[in-house]
Chain A
Amino acid sequence: MRMIKRRDFLKLGAASAAVIMIETQFGPLAKAAESLIEGGRSVNRTSGLPRSFLPSTCMQCPAGCGNIGYIEESRLVKIGGNTMHLSNKGTLCARGQAGINAIYDPDRLLTPLKRKGQRGSNNWEPISWEQAYDEVGTAMAAVKSRPGDFVYLTEDVDEESVGRRFTYAYGSPNTIGSSGIYDANKQVATKLTWGTAGDVPDVLHSKYILVFGANPLESNPQFVGMARRMIDGMQQNQAKLVVFDVRLTNTSTRANEAYYVNPGTYALVALAMANVIMQEGLHARGFIEQWTNVSPAQLAQSLAQYTPERAEAETGVSALVIRRIATEFASTSPATTITDSVLSSLGSGVQNERAAMLLNIITGNIDNKGGLCLPKQYALAEPAPVPAVPDPNLSLLTSQDVPQASTHQPTEKALQTIKERRQKVSVLFTHGVNPAYSNPDTASVEDVLLDETLIPYHVAVTPFMTETAALADIILPETTYLEDWNIEVRPSPELVPYVSLRQPVVPPLEGSVSFFDITRQLAARIGGGMEQYFAFKTVNEYLKARIADIPGLAKAGGLDYLLQHGVWYDPKTRPNYGSFGAGGFQTPSGKIEVSLPGLPVPELPSYEPVAAFRDMKEGEAVLTIFDTALQTDAKTGNCMWLDEILHDNPVWINKATAAKLGIKAGDTIKLTRSAKSGEAKERSVTSTAFLTEGIHPQVIAMANGTGHTVDAKFAHVAEGEKMKVDEITTNFLKDPNVELIWWKEKGGIGINAKQIVPVAPDPVGGGQIWGDVVVTVAKV
């Protein structure tokens, strides 16, 4: 027992008071306690306090569903779906509901951090926001004479319009989104073909749905909106679902027919079907003649080489099946295909997407009820004064890097380009992206980010520590998506355009600042006229200007309506099927450009085998990295609920293949990809084997979204001894979060398979080709 003398305590207390007296900034709590004698304010002590709620927009994946935050006693206690929202109609997936883990993550960054010591040494000094603004502002003002050296990496350039505005106002054209590692090839293929980027399969009304490599019931850019409508449509119309994939998926298990195809051969299946449809005369002759830039005869001739028999030999799908499904597809109306970035990020990327789209085109299933439809989405205004588009000659990525036809910057190549020193960088902003985790060949990304001669100043804007932020010079902790404002628009799965508002469901946690406010503060400090573009009194003023041009919204109440309902669409609007009939397609010819001359690929949709797959030896397999409904690349790493469900990504391997290689379930296996030219050595990852018949024998598969090394407590486990894991978990006094990681003993936290994929942009779309990786599989 310790005894303390009263007089000692008094003396210590007095001395302590003297110490803090000289600290002027002390005292964040207002000293209002003098009013307490009257009993303080009345507090409702009953447990039945009403829950208030606020509609907002989910950002846990690209779908942008309508969500509702339920608030009890100023605390967000639950997130649900907004039934009024046209995308998700009240359903919210696990990711959306787990957003509560993101906002209340015990590891959230709530203080700006400045690097101490070497970059990447992970030593930080907390600094005030004022100091952070001053330091970044001064650094950016000092190099403003070379505005093109400022590079802003973000997830989506259009969504992050504030970031684009900031970059343009500074004078740099280098605002680079992440589409290059996601769906750039699909976007470019559709844009070139029918003039509008993207597509929306109208699955609610389809009677026949043909899926190539996609998994819409588990992962899709419109995830819940697509899955709901697909299930509803299959019920209502008895639609037939046929899936071609290299592995068993949530979608193929619900299909009427599902086929494994040899890796990289989806396009050949599609082209062989198109060939059958043309030969059998099942094509929509009138539609092709009126609305495409090719004649049926020309098409039939070019497709003739893709016989079902050739397809059978190369794809593994029997010629009989190809003939039958082609006939069914062409004679069932309406019908549609579903593809996503999987198809266009392997082999000849853009060409694959064109091949699948061709099936819709030759059967006339284009922008019709139940067919493949043009995306319908509102355009948002850029509030005045609009910063001029900077000189394109200042672009980091030049015509050497960006394919002529592409509207997308190859994200995966941006950092490589910096490495090649073709353009200097003065300041790099990473905002809402985590290239050191999400990009291919993460080791080379790390090399670039660590090199201070290449990137002298790296500012990371993020609510959480990430693999990328750990390599920054200064970290600005922004608000999470649940505490921030934005106007969100997406292609509507209902084909009726809508506007969705993202508003804070609770006030931002102290210490975090919205990106909008960060840019305002920085613009004021950088000056030189830049501040005029950020002279909005409030964020609402900016948002009002963004939605000013949307017809009908102002009459409905404008921003006030959105604040109350979270989403607005014109209730009188119906899907405008066949919208191309009025003015044609948005292509140079006004028609669907089935023939695309001038590209570094054949003019007409074609199939090219993946060279790397041709001479595969025993022990080699094609690596597929698949998305799940639980983790997204860069957004969900700190969501405890999701980590509990999906924390590991064992290697799917076919039982027969495993037997040949002497691999048993649970064995540790190593996947090695040989060195490409310019690489010093091979790349490999190690994981455990998951034996299944649900995968093609030549393919191995791993889930995306696990294996973080820097992010949150869950990742600390991966750091092994360095982080004193055993001490943490054996001592009950240690962080209670870590105690709960029961999966540590059962396989760990997975591994990021993207690190062994080489950087490989598609020559037409500029998007990363993820699917062409052959690895050697070996038991360790």
Chain B
Amino acid sequence: MAKARAGLYGLVSRVFSDKPTAVLLKGLKDNEMIESLATMDVVFDEDFIAGDEEAQAEELAVAYARLFLAGGPHIAPYESVYIRGWSEDKPQLWGETTVAVAKFYEKVGLELKSGQVPDHLGLELEAMAVLAECEAARHASGDAAGAGLLEKLQSRFCQEHLIQWVPKICEEIEQQTESSFYRSMAALTAGLVQVHCGGEDIIIET
């Protein structure tokens, strides 16, 4: 389970950290991937599946820029823009929330590069991926206590941070973009976070 969570968080983290490459798109169109995504109600347009990945990567680079960087009413993909601290009258980068995220990383031993903004959507998702991967490694080595702690850290981070804003920004992404790819990925991310945090959607069957 931890391994699967790591994989999924890793994927969405990658998608929201940078423009996609043709290789990434090709991988996503793998039959098994498409089948699996459908189980989370995530479906790509036929055009997307049929299209040439090189050309799509170029188009999606522009869509990515429009969404998150420049060229449209772009969305600033940072938690502090969505969740304001008590002293903040306006959304900003490096807000109080950002500090809380940075502290969490520090506590669990995740190191940031100088200047890296800790609460970027891609980075928060990546933190979950890394923790889940470590959890899987503990399980594999028979360290149940270590694995349990790592699992708790993930759900704490998910409760305190991801669930607070990721569904919101994903909904906004779905509304703002004309790209089927980003709509699907936003839906996947929102679903993942809701499932993981045990909100409305629950994994029932074993």
Which A residues lie at the B interface, using CB under 8 A? 1-20, 22-23, 25-37, 40-41, 43, 72-76, 100-101, 103-111, 113, 116-117, 122-126, 465, 475, 506-512, 640-641, 713, 716, 723-724, 727-728, 731, 733-738, 740
**B49 contacts A by Cβ under 8 Å:** no
Contact of A122 with B72 in the complex, beta carbons under 8 Å: yes
Is the Cβ of A16 less than 8 Å from the Cβ of B126?
A: no
Contact B99 A75 (CB under 8 A): yes
> Does B92 lie within 8 Å of A101, measured CB to CB?
yes
A41-B109, A737-B81 known; A17 vs B62 contact (CB < 8 Å): no
Shortest CB-to-CB span from B19 to chain A, Å, is 5
Given contacts A30-B110, A509-B115, A735-B172, contact A465 B90 (CB under 8 A): no
B10–A16 touching, CB < 8 Å: yes
Partner of B23, one of A14, A22, A28, A73: A22
Write 10 A-B pairs (CB below 8 A) sorted by A numbering: A6-B205, A10-B1, A13-B8, A30-B110, A33-B109, A75-B95, A106-B93, A113-B65, A113-B70, A508-B114
Q: Which of A17, A109, A465, A509 has a CB less than 8 Å from the CB of B93?
A: A509
Residues of B within 8 A of A103 (CB): 93-94
Separation in Å of the B22 CB from the closest CB of chain A? Answer: 11
Q: Are A106 and B94 in contact (CB under 8 A)?
A: no
Contact yes or no, A15 B149, CB < 8 A: no
Chain B, residue nearest A508 (CB): B115
**Bound state CA distance, A37 and B205, in angstroms?**
31
Encode contact with A along B182-206: 1 for CB under 8 Å, 0 otherwise: 0000000001000100001111111
Q: Which residues of A contact B37 (CB under 8 A)?
A: 12
How far does the alpha carbon of A14 sit from the alpha carbon of B1 in the complex, in Å?
10
B66, B75, B94, B113, most chain A CB atoms within 10 A: B94
B-side contacts of A17, CB under 8 Å:
3-4, 6-8, 10-11
A41 contacts B106, C-beta separation under 8 Å? yes
Q: Nearest chain A CB to B3's CB is how many angstroms away? A: 6
Q: How far is the CA of A29 from the CA of B133 in the complex (A)?
A: 13
User: A75 touching B98 by the CB < 8 A rule?
Assistant: yes
Query: Contacts A33-B134, A736-B82 hold; do A26 and B14 have CB atoms under 8 A apart?
Result: yes
Q: Which of B24-68 contact A (CB under 8 A)?
A: 24, 27-28, 30, 32-33, 35-37, 39-41, 58, 61-62, 64-66
Which residues on B are within 8 Å of A, measured CB to CB?
1, 3-8, 10-14, 17-19, 21, 23-24, 27-28, 30, 32-33, 35-37, 39-41, 58, 61-62, 64-66, 69-76, 78, 81-82, 84, 90-95, 98-99, 102-103, 105-117, 123, 126-127, 130-131, 133-134, 137, 146, 149-150, 153, 168, 171-172, 175, 191, 195, 200-206
Tell me, in angstroms, the Cα distance from A41 to B112 when the chains sit together: 14
Closest 3 CB pairs of A and B: A13-B4, A17-B7, A106-B76
B109 and A4 within 8 A (CB): no
Minimal beta-carbon separation of A734 from chain B (angstroms):
6
**Contacts beyond the supplied A37-B149, A116-B58: 10 A-B pairs with Cβ under 8 Å:** A2-B41, A2-B200, A3-B201, A9-B4, A26-B10, A29-B105, A74-B99, A509-B117, A734-B172, A734-B175
**A5 surroundings in chain B (CB, below 8 A):** 39, 203-205
Q: Decide: A4 near B94, CB < 8 A? Known: A15-B30, A73-B102.
A: no
* Residues of chain A contacted by B82 (CB below 8 angstroms): 736
Q: Is the CB of A18 within 8 A of B27?
A: yes
Give complex CA distance A11, B1 in Å: 10
Q: Are B114's CB and A510's CB within 8 A?
A: yes
User: How far does the alpha carbon of A1 sit from the alpha carbon of B133 in the complex, in Å?
Assistant: 28
Residue pair A123, B71 in contact (C-beta under 8 Å): yes
Question: Are B33's CB and A19's CB within 8 A?
Answer: yes
Bound-state CA distance A387–B127 (Å) is 48
A508 and B202 alpha carbons, distance in the complex (Å): 41
Q: Are A11 and B36 in contact (CB under 8 A)?
A: yes
In the complex, A430→B49 CA distance in Å?
A: 41
Q: Give the residues in chain B near A1, CB-CB below 8 Å.
A: 200-202
Whose C-beta in chain B lies nearest to the C-beta of A34? B134
* Chain A residues with CB under 8 A of B149: 36-37
A32 touches B110 (CB 8 A): yes
Q: Flag if B70 contacts A465 (CB, 8 Å).
A: yes
Assess A76 versus B113: contact at CB under 8 Å? Given A723-B73, A735-B76.
no
What residues of B have a CB within 8 angstroms of the CB of A125 in the complex? 19, 58, 61-62, 65
Task: List residues of chain B with CB within 8 A of the CB of A4.
Answer: 39-40, 195, 201, 203-204
Given the complex, which residues of A lie within 8 Å of B11, measured CB to CB? 16-17, 19-20
Task: For the complex, give the distance between the alpha carbons of A22 and B21 in Å.
Answer: 11
A25 to B76, CA, bound (A): 23
Q: In the complex, which residues of chain B have a beta carbon less than 8 angstroms from the beta carbon of A740?
A: 90-91
Identity of the chain A residue whose Cβ is nearest the Cβ of B145 in the assembled complex:
A37
A510-B116 CB under 8 A given contacts A31-B130, A41-B106: yes
**A8-B36, A104-B95 known; A29 and B62 CB under 8 Å?**
no
Which residues of chain A have C-beta atoms less than 8 A from B130's C-beta? 29, 31, 33
Contacts of B203 in A (CB 8 A): 3-6, 9
A29 touches B110 (CB 8 A): yes
Point out the residues of chain A lying under 8 angstroms from B23, CB to CB.
Answer: 22-23
CA distance A16 to B201 in the complex (A): 20
For residue A123, which residues in chain B have a CB less than 8 angstroms away from its CB?
Answer: 62, 65-66, 71
A713 to B71, CA, bound (A): 11
Contact B94 A20 (CB under 8 A): no
Write the chain A residue with the least CB distance to B20: A23
Q: Which residue of B12, B91, B126, B134 contacts A736 across the interface (Cβ within 8 Å)?
A: B91
Alpha-carbon gap, A26 to B15, bound state (A) = 10
B106: chain A residues at CB < 8 Å are 40-41, 43
Contact yes or no, A31 B123, CB < 8 A: no
> Chain A residues near B4 (CB, 8 Å)?
9-14, 16-17
In the assembled complex, which residues on chain A have CB atoms less than 8 Å from the CB atom of B191? 2
A104-B93 CB under 8 A given contacts A509-B117, A731-B175: yes
Among B36, B71, B133, which residue has its beta carbon within 8 angstroms of that of A31?
Answer: B133
The residues of B that contact A723 with a CB separation of less than 8 Å are 72-73
Residues of A within 8 A of B8 (CB): 9, 12-13, 16-17
A126 to B99 Cα, complex, angstroms: 27
Find chain A residues with CB under 8 A from B134 CB: 31, 33-34, 36
| Shortest beta-carbon distance from A534 to chain B in Å | 22
Closest chain-B Cβ to A232's Cβ sits at a distance in Å of 33
User: Which residue of the partner chain B has the closest CB to A11?
Assistant: B36
Task: Give A468 to B70 CA distance when docked, in angstroms.
Answer: 14
- Cβ of A36 and Cβ of B150 under 8 Å apart? yes
A19 touches B27 (CB 8 A): yes
Contact check, B90 vs A76: say whether CB atoms are below 8 A apart: no
Q: How far in angstroms is the closest Cβ of chain B from A103?
A: 8
| CA gap between A107 and B117 in the complex, in Å | 14
| Contact partners of B168 in chain A: CB under 8 A | 733
Query: A126 and B18: CB pair below 8 A?
Result: yes
CB <8 Å contact, A116 and B62 = yes
CB of B131, distance to nearest CB on chain A (Å) = 6
Residue of B nearest to A725 (CB): B73
B123 lies within 8 A of A126 (CB):
no
Contacts of A43 in B (CB 8 A): 103, 106-107
A736 contacts B81, C-beta separation under 8 Å = yes
Q: Which residues of the other chain, B, contact A31 by a CB distance below 8 angstroms?
A: 110, 130, 133-134
B92:A124 contact, CB within 8 angstroms: no
CA distance A709 to B147 in the complex (A): 53
The closest CB in chain A to the CB of B30 belongs to A15
Question: Are B99 and A728 in touch, CB under 8 angstroms?
Answer: no
Chain A residues in 8 Å Cβ range of B200 = 1-2
Known pairs A20-B10, A123-B71, A731-B175; A33 contacts B195 (CB<8 A): no
- Give A111's nearest chain B residue, CB to CB: B69
A368 to B181, CA, bound (A): 71
| Nearest-CB residue, chain A, relative to B83 | A736
Check if A735 sits within 8 Å of B73, measured CB to CB.
Answer: yes
Q: A13-B4, A36-B109 are in contact. Are A19 and B24 (CB under 8 A)?
A: yes
Complex interface: chain A residues within 8 A of B123 (CB): 28-29
A2's closest neighbor in chain B, by CB? B201
> How far, in Å, is A20 (CB) from chain B's closest CB?
5
Tell me the bound Cα distance from A443 to B1 in angstroms.
60
